[in-house]
Structure formats: structure tokens, C-alpha cells
């Protein structure tokens, strides 16, 4: 893939990831309001949908960092 196409593909992926991260954040906020879910619930022994959201959020956030490094031509340490 050419550099321009690769950059465009990475930028599109980045946009999709950011949109999904925002959706997950909104779900966390809804759970907090509706069910009293706290930061502790999210970060200490999460279960069920909270664990699924947390795991997905973490995976996407890491991919976002990888994309940023790829776009800048740097390496992740």
C-alpha cells in the first residue's frame, strides 16, 4: 500500500476508534447514572458488560496509540 493510502486508511481507522471510544464512555456514564456504577467498579474486578466495555476500551486505546506512532513514524516504547 502506498504511503498516502496507508495514511488515509490509518486516519479512517483512527476516526472509527475515537467514535467507538466515545460510545463506550457514554455507556459508562449511563451505567453510572442508572445503576450507580463507580470508577472502582470499572477498575477493580469488573464483571459482565462493564468488563466487556473496559476490555474493549483498553484494546481500542492501545490501537489508537499504535496508529499515532505509525502516522508520526515513531516507535512505541
Question: Would you say residue 1 has pLDDT above 70?
Answer: no
| pLDDT tens-digit map of 41-70 | 888 888 888 899 999 999 999 999 999 999
Residue range 18-28: mean pLDDT, rounded: 95
What CA–CA distance (Å, rounded) separates 9 from 45?
36
For residue 18, the model assigns a pLDDT of 98
pTM: 0.84
Whole-number Å distance between alpha carbons of 23 and 46: 18
Q: Over the stretch 24-35, which tens digit does the pLDDT of each residue have?
A: 999 989 988 998
Give the chain's largest Cα–Cα span.
49
Question: How many angstroms separate the CA atoms of 25 and 47, rounded?
Answer: 17
Amino acid at each position: 500500500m502506498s504511503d498516502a493510502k496507508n495514511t488515509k486508511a490509518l486516519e479512517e481507522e483512527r476516526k472509527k476508534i475515537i467514535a467507538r471510544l466515545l460510545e463506550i464512555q457514554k455507556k459508562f456514564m449511563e451505567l453510572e447514572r442508572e445503576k450507580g456504577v463507580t470508577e472502582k467498579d470499572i477498575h477493580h474486578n469488573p464483571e459482565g458488560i462493564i468488563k466487556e466495555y473496559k476490555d474493549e476500551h483498553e484494546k481500542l486505546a492501545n490501537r489508537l496509540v499504535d496508529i499515532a506512532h505509525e502516522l508520526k513514524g515513531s516507535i512505541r516504547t
